[in-house]
Structure 1
Amino acid sequence: MPIAVDMGVDPLGKTVPLNLEELLATRLLVQGNSGSGKSHLLRRLLEKSAGQVQQVIVDPEGEFTTLSDAYGHVVVEGAAHSETEIGKLAMRIREHRLSVVLSLEGLEADGQMRCAAGFLNTLFDAPREHWYPALVIVDEAQMFAPTAGGEVPEDVRRASLGAMTNLMCRGRKRGLAGIIATQRLAKLAKNVAAEASNFLMGRTFLDIDMARAADLLGMERRQAEAIRDLERGQFLGLGPAISRRPIKVKIGSVETGPKDATPALTPLPTATGEEAASLLFDDLADAPEPPKPEKPAPKPLPSETMMEQLAAAVTTRRAADEPPVPAPDAEAVEPIVAEALAAMVEEEDGKPRSTAIAYQDFSVRCRMKGLRTPPLDLPAFGRRLAAARAGIPEDPQPDWGEVLAAAEGLPDDMLAPFLLIAKAAREGAPSPSEEAIAAIYGTASLSRARRLIDYIEERELIVKRTDMGGKTSITLPALGWTTAAA
């Protein structure tokens, strides 16, 4: 018998159910302008399905943290953990089927995108034995899958968009049912929105958003005006988990609410003109100065850290006589590392990920090969990954120690291009082309590749020479290596 979630009533007062099993296979998109009732809809869905399926909520504003008291969700404060810790928590969430709220409150936009990307990617990359069904709810999805880059770094935008694409396009086979909510369909990447088969469209007023919503609902453009006329809390629903034809639903009530309620209208003070002026201007010099704006401090952790709480929950589920997994021999570790790095570089296909996100992928690959803990810490992994991208598969420390020492002052993302140049110089090969340097740096812009070379040259790590024939060679003066002219 299918599990039905009561979402509310239609115009005739009949209950509108949402088929939970069908939802797990087909995903859901919720759209509506601010104030249309999207958060209320998501809260209704979460409350009514709590206890029937694992729930993982990516919450940029911390609105859903109140679910923890009523329904036992574990709140993970993104601002209080490093990227590595967020990845470890995501692995345990998948393994032990814990319902959680990832609160990103207190992080800047790029920090929220970076945290969500690492979290979602680790959920997606979980070992096959942990592919349990779970609802993954992402509120304000246009932040994490934008149509344009905005003001965030390009590598952060790509990582976040890739994580959202994986969730919506390939997550179903891994048990992940994406539920995304957005204020503006026009700002949400089309390849992410197009993967949803169920839709709940709320009130919206912009023509471009109404047109996209009407297309998704299979309505003619002239019928799109109905979307503008919806009341707060009313949505047009369509999809295999809701209805085969568009249906209007009034979302039912909820038991919990956001921690910060919307301010309500209150009567204004009845001061006269002179009294009001007195309140403003009397003793102005002695009034306290306004507080200086500052970045909100991370919320303090409880006396027992989140990692310790999850570890305690894990301990009770493990059998006392579980046989230990023998660690591989030291000689067997290096081939595992080299194989994992080679596979990762091949899959990047000229689009490098950030080191922190790639490290989560590396940790999972090592675990699947029998290494309980990664054999490299994050800095060492960054050096090995840069070397692998430059075509140096082995551990660079023995043979390339002088090169690594010379590059100490370079930013981490410039190590791979520098090693690519050093490798060519050591072998007497032609200088790498600007296209090759741009690709390994993660950009398609040749001007950025030129600025990168100029930056390294300003630090006296390389010297670029161009002969009368227009051919360029690059020398590493500290090592006495020079590339062939090209």
Structure 2
Amino acid sequence: MTSIVLGQGRDGSDTCIDLPELLATRLLVQGNSGSGKSHLLRRLLEQTATLVQQVMIDPEGDFVTLADHYGHLVIDVEDQSEASLRAAGERVRAHRASVVLNLEQVEAEMQLRAAGAFLNGMFEAPRAHWYPVLVVVDEAQLFAPVAGGDTSDEARRLSLGAMTNLMCRGRKRGLAGVIATQRLAKLAKNVAAEASNFLMGRTFLDIDMARAADLLGMERRAAESFRDLARGQFMALGPALSRRPKLVTIGPVTTASHATGPVLVPLEPVSAEDLRDIILEPVHEFTPRARRESRPPPPDLLAQLDAYGAEREAEEPAPAAVVVEADPDQLWSLVAEVVAGEGSDYKPLATLYQDFQLRARIQGLSRNVLELGPFHRMLATIRAGLDRERSESEDWKQAQAIAATLPEDVQGVFLLLARTALDGETCPGDEALARAYGTHSLGRARRQLNYLEEREVIVLQETPLGRRVAIVGLGWQTA
């Protein structure tokens, strides 16, 4: 058994926590402000720093000092996008890096989005990287609130979903959640209920004491004892701690937070008149410089080409209007050039369509020679690996008709599956599915298979030799 000393019991004996059991059963820490939660978390992180990979979600920047002693990587989220944080979450698991996600410099909305993106990236890591990780979330009521607040519903859903995945489904993926909160009443119940180990600190509100007593299996009248706990004292219960409620005083720590508690400093005697001159000193207001006249932005390249063509027609009027008919083979070739462009798999559809329009205008065709819908279907067909002749077959038209009933973002995935099933090839791998979906996240691409099966357009079968997919209504299936 690998255990660490968390502190001392009432009789002075060491109180240990079983680390493998903790990784399997998760931990909930509760206590009002000043009860010693951060001290407890720091003790836990210091004692396990050399034993297991750690990830700290730090809303106040209290734990960045771990980097100086234990080599944790500190990620400041103020200059990071959600996509980069999601990718960072996957890479952290691949390289088994201990990380402190510092959310101190961003507002509440971005804190929820950043934490949700990072945790989702860790959750979606490939199975080969499911090493055990201790994921510590301080002030968990911010990221898994029981009710709405000042943040948007979208950010709250993203963060709450990530926290739910961490506590409810994270065990099989090696994610061991340790969440700390000031108010149990403000923490979502489905998140708190998944913890099997509890450390309950000083609490004064009746509703929080009642919930803490229920979690520890104590009688309601015994809940009053939570008010008498000193700073750094917690009632411990759980398979990794103790089979019966036990008082533990948390041991000392090596590192310290940058933040310091309030310290009483004697006031220096200053006369009221001197203070008046200092506090009400006039502020010099500077006259802002006049703004320069804003110039209109230059027209885009397509507009310049249209304007150039109109000028030429005005200068040299043609005897008769010449209409260039669009050749289907020429359109196919133009879309194929767009598909072959560097990084086209991950570019938005609007960007690819604009690229196609530019190529069409250069060859003398109208920029609207192919509408966006037909362009998207042709694009997905070429990405699926079909040539022009086979794309006109009746079989493929049936597949396109099924794809038309699906959302645009998953049509490419379905058509790729349909083409491989039509040719009897093996099911595409995660990377091929991710390219067809336009994402770098393999986990997000894999989820589209389950979505397509829920829509009843494919039948998914997991076999010892890999995945097999059958197309509903067409009778095709992959090898």
Alignment of 1:76-475 (within 5 A): 76-271=75-270, 275-281=271-277, 284-286=280-282, 331-332=383-384, 368-370=430-432, 376=438
CA contact (8 A) 2:203 2:226 kept: yes
Paired with 1:71 and 1:332, the residues of 2 have a C-alpha distance of 48
Paired with 2:143 and 2:158, the residues of 1 have a C-alpha distance of 9
Give the deviation of 1:244 after TM superposition. 0.3
How many matched pairs? 320
- SS where residue 117 of structure 2 aligns? helix
Question: What one-letter code is carried by the residue in structure 1 that aligns with 2:430?
Answer: M
- SS where residue 280 of structure 1 aligns? helix
- SS where residue 65 of structure 1 aligns? coil
Question: What one-letter code is carried by the residue in structure 2 that aligns with 1:369?
Answer: E
Give the deviation of 1:121 after TM superposition. 1.1
CA contact (8 A) 1:367 1:373 kept: no
Q: Which string of whole-angstrom CA distances, capped at 9 and with x for unpartnered residues, describes residues 128-167 of structure 1?
A: 1111000000100000110001121112211211111110
- 1:37 to 1:79, Cα distance in 2 relative to 1, 3 A: same
1:467 counterpart residue number:
none
Paired with 1:285 and 1:105, the residues of 2 have a C-alpha distance of 33
Q: Which string of whole-angstrom CA distances, capped at 9 and with x for unpartnered residues, describes residues 25-56 of structure 1?
A: 00000000001000000000000000100000
- SS where residue 261 of structure 1 aligns? coil
- SS where residue 213 of structure 1 aligns? helix
Question: What one-letter code is carried by the residue in structure 2 that aligns with 1:135?
Answer: L
Paired with 1:105 and 1:37, the residues of 2 have a C-alpha distance of 20
Q: Which string of whole-angstrom CA distances, capped at 9 and with x for unpartnered residues, describes residues 386-437 of structure 1?
A: xx99x9x9xxxxxxxxxxxxxxxxxxxxxxxxxxxxxxxxxxxxxxxxxxxx
Paired with 2:40 and 2:146, the residues of 1 have a C-alpha distance of 25
TM-score by length of 2: 0.62
Question: What one-letter code is carried by the residue in structure 2 that aligns with 1:279?
Answer: L
- 1:281 to 1:18, Cα distance in 2 relative to 1, 3 A: same
Question: What one-letter code is carried by the residue in structure 1 that aligns with 2:265?
Answer: T
Question: What one-letter code is carried by the residue in structure 2 that aligns with 1:281?
Answer: D
Q: Which string of whole-angstrom CA distances, capped at 9 and with x for unpartnered residues, describes residues 91-112 of structure 1?
A: 1101111000011111111111
TM-score by length of 1: 0.61
CA contact (8 A) 2:410 2:437 kept: no
Paired with 1:201 and 1:28, the residues of 2 have a C-alpha distance of 11
- 1:263 to 1:193, Cα distance in 2 relative to 1, 3 A: same
Larger Rg: 2
Dislocated runs of 4+, deviation >6 Å? 341-346, 371-375
Paired with 1:94 and 1:370, the residues of 2 have a C-alpha distance of 22
Paired with 1:57 and 1:282, the residues of 2 have a C-alpha distance of 43
Give the deviation of 1:332 after TM superposition. 4.0
- SS where residue 18 of structure 1 aligns? strand
Paired with 1:224 and 1:53, the residues of 2 have a C-alpha distance of 34
Q: After alignment, is 118-127 or 279-288 more displaced?
A: 279-288
- 1:159 to 1:152, Cα distance in 2 relative to 1, 3 A: same
- 1:104 to 1:330, Cα distance in 2 relative to 1, 3 A: farther
Give the deviation of 1:78 after TM superposition. 1.2
Percent identity between matched residues is 58
Q: Which string of whole-angstrom CA distances, capped at 9 and with x for unpartnered residues, describes residues 185-222 of structure 1?
A: 00000010000000000001000000000000100000
Give the deviation of 1:5 after TM superposition. 1.3
2:349 counterpart residue number:
none
Paired with 1:36 and 1:262, the residues of 2 have a C-alpha distance of 13
Q: Which string of whole-angstrom CA distances, capped at 9 and with x for unpartnered residues, describes residues 4-43 of structure 1?
A: 1111101111110000000000000000000100000000
Q: Which runs of 5+ in 1 are unaligned?
A: 290-328, 347-365, 394-486
- 1:141 to 1:282, Cα distance in 2 relative to 1, 3 A: closer
1:415 counterpart residue number:
none
Paired with 1:5 and 1:345, the residues of 2 have a C-alpha distance of 48
